[in-house]
Amino acid sequence: MEQVGELKKRVIISTISLYLQSGYSAVLGLVANLVLTILLSPATFGIYITILSMISILNYFSDVGLAASLIQKKEINDEDVETTFTIQQLLILTLISIAFLLTPFIIKFYNLPSDGKYLYWALLFSFFLSSLKTIPSVFLERKIQFQKIVLVQVFENSVFYLSVIIFAILGFQLKSFTYAVFLRSITGLVMIYIISPWMPRVGINWVHLKQLLRFGVPFQAGSFLALFKDDLITLYLGKVLGFEGLGYIGWAKKFAEAPIRIIMDNLSRVMFPVMARIQQDKQKISRLIEKILHYQTLILAPSIIGLAIIMPILVSTIPKYNKWEPALPIFFLFCLSSLFSSYSSPFMNLFNALGNVKISFTFMAIWTAMVWTLTIILTPTLGYFGFPVTQLVLSSTFLFVVWQAKRFINFTFIKSIYKPIITALLMGLVLIIIKSLIPLSFISLGVIIFMGGLTYFILLLVLFKINLINEVRSVFSYE
């Protein structure tokens, strides 16, 4: 029981730490971007974003999923760690060498100034230093000690944003990013080795490498497909619909998916190593899955339904915001698809944690093929609605993901989610009635939000005897 309590304690601390770090970074980034967009020209800022995107693409090829393999394995030894580190460094050095040799082409293709070249090299150097942090970070993830990783990230982000602001104020222009990137990389590397000491060792055990790649390659391939499915489709939509249509879709998708991005992304990052640690105990995993489904629905269902109701108020009351009114129908479709897609995430983590990464890769491959095929077919006829309808069809396939998961563990799906969903729908009905009875304004927005929370709390208690206060207490209880 103490082991279970200790694991739950680490999960709670890790999850809260990730949420706090996300909030801190978002606020700090917002302030920094505000200052930088005042001090720097759009071209200077655009150069940084462009070069950063190139480095992000390199990251997909940096370790062929070996780090994820170390997190997923029930037990690891020195040979696993040495092999992962060595292979990763060989890949990193190869990628950096190729990228460095391509410097003249990159400069010519993007017409970069000389300072842009140095920023490009600085980011390549940062890419190398970041790779040296992988093994210490893996050790912390295996121990479910994300708060220590978060501490490093907080310091890294603070050093980067503060230094880039200071250098920009001093008039260093594009060099501000170059110096800030150096400082951030060195700070993060030193801190992670202080918090999670490890002496790098080189060596390749081919037997262990084969075992690691069996999980790692499909895992990383799935990540690459996600890039192809979610990011590159934007280029197609921009070409077919134009920037205005893409703007409507981007606005609707960003706000509709905000609840699952905030809740599910951080939760998924913690749940993968947790499930991997208890992968032999199917009964414990079953209980964990049911709790995740229950708690995520308790939060997401009212959040998404409430967001769908208040967004039209925001569009009509915020000055100069009615330009987004044509995107509201698209927004409603994305709201529904985001709720559906949230039920795939826990099970994708489950497949990966149990070592069945080929299943998650297969689903990702099917979704990638579907999103491109349906978008290309539907966009010419449905216009702006082609992609949102495609997303709704894709998200509906969570039923097949649930069916597949039941082959591995025994859990109750409907029983875990139906109470919050029914309550959230009733809450939405009450809010629609209230909305029709009062004039739209910022005051009415506050009234609707307050009444939504109160209605949801009361209906849960009256209809299903679920006390949200007790639910929160049970989450933070280490029993």
Burial (Cβ within 10 Å: 0-12, 13-18, ≥19) of residue 266: buried
Query: Distance between CA atoms of 79 and 86, rounded to whole angstroms?
Result: 10
Counted residue by residue, the chain has a size of: 479
Q: Are residues 100 and 248 in the same domain?
A: no
Q: Are residues 303 and 201 in the same domain?
A: no
154, 180, 214 — which closes off a domain? Answer: 214
Report the pLDDT value the prediction gives residue 2, as an integer from 0 to 100: 42
Q: Are residues 190 and 256 in the same domain?
A: no
Q: Are residues 159 and 267 in the same domain?
A: no
- For residue 210 the two structure tokens come to 């084969």
Query: Distance between CA atoms of 435 and 256, rounded to whole angstroms?
Result: 20
The CB density around residue 410, as the number of other CB atoms within 10 Å, is 10
Taking the CA of residue 423 as centre, how many other CA atoms within 13 Å lie in the half-sphere pointing to its CB? 29
Q: Tell the residue number behind the tokens 């629609």, with chain if given.
A: 432
pTM here? 0.72
Q: pLDDT band at 475, cuts 50/70/90?
A: low
Q: Tell the residue number behind the tokens 């970069």, with chain if given.
A: 112
Residue 226 resides in a domain? no
Q: Are residues 352 and 407 in the same domain?
A: yes
Q: Are residues 36 and 125 in the same domain?
A: yes
Quote the domain boundaries for residue 135.
Answer: 2-214
Higher pLDDT: 301 or 271? It is 301
Q: Are residues 278 and 160 in the same domain?
A: no
Q: Are residues 169 and 127 in the same domain?
A: yes
Using an 8 Å Cβ cutoff, are 411 and 346 in contact?
no
Residue 222 resides in a domain? no
Q: What is the DSSP string of 415-460?
A: HHHHHHHHHHHHHHHHHHHHHHHS--SHHHHHHHHHHHHHHHHHHH
- pLDDT one-digit tens code per residue, 366-425: 999 999 999 999 999 999 899 999 999 999 999 999 999 999 899 999 999 999 999 999
Q: pLDDT band at 1, cuts 50/70/90?
A: very low
Calculate the dihedral angle through the C-alpha atoms of 359, 338, 33, 29, rounding to the nearest 10 degrees. Answer: -70
Using an 8 Å Cβ cutoff, are 28 and 184 in contact?
no
Using an 8 Å Cβ cutoff, are 111 and 47 in contact?
no
Query: Distance between CA atoms of 202 and 25, rounded to whole angstroms?
Result: 35
- pLDDT one-digit tens code per residue, 28-58: 876 777 677 678 777 776 677 666 656 566 6
Q: Are residues 92 and 193 in the same domain?
A: yes
- pLDDT one-digit tens code per residue, 426-465: 999 999 999 888 887 788 888 899 999 999 999 999 999 9
Residue 223 resides in a domain? no
- For residue 49 the two structure tokens come to 């974003």
Query: Distance between CA atoms of 43 and 27, rounded to whole angstroms?
Result: 24
Nearest to 305 by CA among 432, 117, 218: 432
- For residue 256 the two structure tokens come to 């509709």
Least confident of 36-45, 91-100, 134-143, 192-201: 36-45
Q: What is the mean pLDDT of residues 205-219?
A: 82
Q: Are residues 350 and 207 in the same domain?
A: no
In the predicted structure, residue 124 carries a pLDDT above the cut 70: yes
Q: What is the mean pLDDT of residues 224-240?
A: 72
Query: Distance between CA atoms of 416 and 326, rounded to whole angstroms?
Result: 36
Query: Distance between CA atoms of 356 and 350, rounded to whole angstroms?
Result: 8
Residue 321 resides in a domain? yes
Residue 220 resides in a domain? no
187, 214, 241 — which closes off a domain? Answer: 214
Instruction: Tell me, rounded to whole angstroms, the distance of Cα 88 from its chain centroid.
Output: 23
Residue 221 resides in a domain? no
Residue 224 resides in a domain? no
- For residue 226 the two structure tokens come to 């996600």
In the predicted structure, residue 64 carries a pLDDT above the cut 60: no
Q: Are residues 278 and 189 in the same domain?
A: no
**Count of domains forming the chain:** 2
Report the pLDDT value the prediction gives residue 107, as an integer from 0 to 100: 87
Residue 299 resides in a domain? yes
Query: Distance between CA atoms of 159 and 138, rounded to whole angstroms?
Result: 23
Q: Are residues 467 and 338 in the same domain?
A: yes
In the predicted structure, residue 476 carries a pLDDT above the cut 60: no
